[in-house]
Structures are given as C-alpha cells and as structure tokens.
Structure 1
Amino acid sequence: MWASLFGFTNLLALVAWALLILAPRRPAIYSIILFAGVGLLCLTYSVLLALLLAGAVDPGGAGAGASFQSIEGIRSIFATDGGVVVGWTHYLAFDLFVGLWISRDADAKGFGRLVQAPILLLTFFAGPFGLFLWLIVRERRARATAKVR
C-alpha cells in the first residue's frame, strides 16, 4: 500500500511540475496545478496523517515517543514506511505550492521562462534552495516594481 501511495504522489507531483515548467501559463493550467496538484497532495497528506496518528494504518507509525518536540520524536514518526510517505507527501505539496508562487511572481515581474525553469527545477529537487535562489534573483525587480507603485 505505501509503495503505491508513494508512486501515486510522485507521479502526481511530476505531472504538476511538468505543467508548471512547460505548459502555457493560463488560468486553467494554474487551476489544474493548484487543485489537482497541490490540493490533491494536501488532501492525501491530511487523510494519511490522520490515519497514521490514529493508528488506523501502519501500526507503530505513530509509535511510542512520536512527537514534533524532539529529534527522537521526529525519528519515531519517520521510522515506518507510512511515516516516510506522509512526510514525503508534505514536501511534495509545499514545494509545488512554492513553485506555483515563484512562477506567478516571476511572470508578474517579467522574468522569462528560461530564467524561471532552472529555479523551478531547483525548487522541485531541493525546495528551500530554489526558493532562496528566487528570493535573491527577484530582489532588484521587486524593489523597482515597488517604487513605481
């Protein structure tokens, strides 16, 4: 079950990222990415987390000592396949949301797709690193845009 869910979430994220990087930027494409991509990943995460923490699936997934207050507690959460899939789905959902924000922000600031693509790919592979790079790249244009208003 966990391997199938892992494959499903990866495929869903990959399709959404491909649309984000390659498809025309139209409202319908953004809606597909937001609702069928981010939204479905968030729903999957929410249901799996609730089931995991309730002990309804992957018994031991929220094993003794599972908490968000210590390294040991976090390790306990990720100690099972269920915990890994839930955690991975969390990353996929948030990184895709950040990528969606970057693309919209970059479009609004007049950055071309050739500038965006490597930043989006980096966000896909290493979320915070891609976001950090985007924050640096956008800074000068963001200030210039703010002065015009």
Structure 2
Amino acid sequence: MTGFLFQLTFWLTAPFWALMIFAPTWSWTARIVSSPLIAVPPVAIYAVLVAGHVPELLTAVSSPELGSMRELAASAWGTSAFWAHVIAWDLLVGAWMYREGRRLGVHPLLMGPLLVATILVAPLGFAVFLVVRRLCDTPDRATSVVTHE
C-alpha cells in the first residue's frame, strides 16, 4: 500500500503541473491553480501515511537530529510521507511561480522550463525564478500591488 501511495502522490499533482506548463494562457488554468486546494491530494496521502506513526514522527521532528531523521527516512512510510510533503510544497511553490509569471508577463516559453526545473529540483528552479522575477519586475511594483494604484 505504501509503495502505491508513493507513486500516486506525483500523479495526483501532475495534471496541475501540466496545466501550468502546457496550457498557461487558458483561463481555467489560472482559476484552478490559484486555489490552495490543489495541494489537498498529496496532503491527504501524507495524512494517511503518517496516521499510524504520529508518535514516531513527532519524536523525529520535535528535536531533529541527523540520526532520527535518517531512521525516519529509512522506513517506507517515512520516505513516502516525506515525498508527499515535498510534492505538496513544490506544487504550491510552482503555482505561486506560475501566478507571478503571469502577473509579470513572463513568456510561457521561459516559465515552462522554470516550472519543469521546479518539479525536478525545486530549490534551484525557485531560485532561478526569483532572479527572473527580479529582472522582470519594476522597482515601484511592490507598492502598486499592495495599494492597487
């Protein structure tokens, strides 16, 4: 069952990634990925995986040490829970990047590879996007976003 949930985690989020990468200008894409509910599938899988292991999980994360985290990751449920956690956060980061890219007018041919990079190596994809965002944003945009002026 754990192996199945591990595999299922990404496939439940793949449609959202596909929309952002392959149909970025479709009006429904923006509506769908603007909802934080897109992260519910991997979060639900995470909840199922950790349900029977809450004491072990709380022990490991309440005072994280390399050894306890290694033990957690060495278990099938721990690795699968970690994977669901990563997939949920990566999707939320990717959705934010997508929305910011649309707001700034970043071309889909640039955003697509950035989103793929985020799927594969999220911290690096995110870091590159922050550089792109900085280059595409105007110096006074921050106040205009807040004040709508």
Q: TM-score range by the shorter chain?
A: 0.7 to 0.9
Looking at secondary structure, tell me which structure has more helix per residue. Answer: 2
5 Å-filtered alignment, 1:53-72, equals: 53-54=54-55, 62=56, 66-68=59-61, 69-72=64-67
Match of 2:113 in 1: 118
Unpaired segments ≥5 residues, structure 2: 145-149
Task: For CA contacts below 8 A with separation 6 or more, give which structure has more relative contact order.
Answer: 2
Corresponding residue number in structure 1 for 2:8: 8
Give the gaps of 5 or more residues in structure 1: 55-61
Count residues with an aligned counterpart: 141
Q: Please tell me the root mean square deviation across aligned C-alpha atoms, in Å.
A: 2.5
The two structures have a TM-score, normalised by structure 2, of 0.81
* Kept after mapping to 2: 8 A contact 1:99/1:123: yes
| Structure 2 match to 1:50 | 51
Q: Is 2:14 the counterpart of 1:21?
A: no
Mapped to 2, the partners of 1:78 and 1:129 lie a distance apart of: 22
Q: Name the CA shift for 1:35/1:128 in 2 (closer, same or farther; >3 Å).
A: same
Match of 1:57 in 2: none
The CA distance in 1 between the partners of 2:52 and 2:113, in whole Å, is 37
Which of 69, 84, 90 matches 2:85? 90
Query: What is the TM-score normalised by the length of structure 1?
Result: 0.81
